[in-house]
Structure 1
């Protein structure tokens, strides 16, 4: 899950600027950095939720944890996972 590791690194980089540590993200405005931090938080929470939900289900394939970990595409991966999960329930 290299994608998630990259997201964590970017999250740490941006978060560090908010506590006064100089990073390459420091020149950007505080509003932009807060927006980026929020975006990265959502990008990290989606694969976490899918992973935790998959642990309790065996009928839905594990491929969804990888699809939901791809940045930006993970919103579509989440929608696909929820649809597959609902189909298995029916």
Structure 2
């Protein structure tokens, strides 16, 4: 288990990361729908790929958090913070699923 003080500090990193993903998702959506010219220099395919990746970056940690709350196993909430890290979250989600199947 993770010490409560460490977990409290991790929340200060995780919440802004999730908010950045959410803002980026809305900016990319606005660009694709024609409401913003922010990403118009990039092709539509690149913006769609960015939208899908941003959506995954946002949804993966939320799914891990929900799954941690709904299952009675004593898995650490550290998995939620690992799943919220940019780029590392795919490895974190796979690691979480592996740990969950072992318990």
TM-score normalised by the chain length of structure 1 = 0.88
Per the alignment, residue 49 of structure 2 pairs with: 35
Most deviating of 36-45 and 60-69: 36-45
Runs of 4+ in structure 1 off by over 6 angstroms are: none
Query: Residues of 2 paired with 1:15 and 1:27: CA distance?
Result: 15
Choose the corresponding residue for 2:29, options 15, 19, 41. Answer: 15
Query: Residues of 1 paired with 2:42 and 2:17: CA distance?
Result: 24
Equivalent residue of 2:86, what SS?
Answer: coil
Deviation track 1:25-84 (CA, whole Å, cap 9, x = no partner) reads: 122111111111111112122112101101113410101111001111000110111111
Query: Residues of 2 paired with 1:62 and 1:9: CA distance?
Result: 25
Verify the 8 A CA contact 1:13 1:23 in the aligned structure 2: no
Alignment length (residue pairs)? 88
CA RMSD of the aligned region, Å? 1.3
Unaligned runs of 5+ in 2: 1-14
Unaligned runs of 5+ in 1: none
CA distance 1:23–1:66, shift in 2 (3 Å): farther
> 1:3, CA displacement in angstroms?
1.0
TM-score normalised by the chain length of structure 2 = 0.78
- 1:21-60 mapped onto 2 (5 Å cutoff): 21-58=35-72, 59-60=74-75
Q: Verify: 1:6 aligned to 2:6, yes or no.
A: no
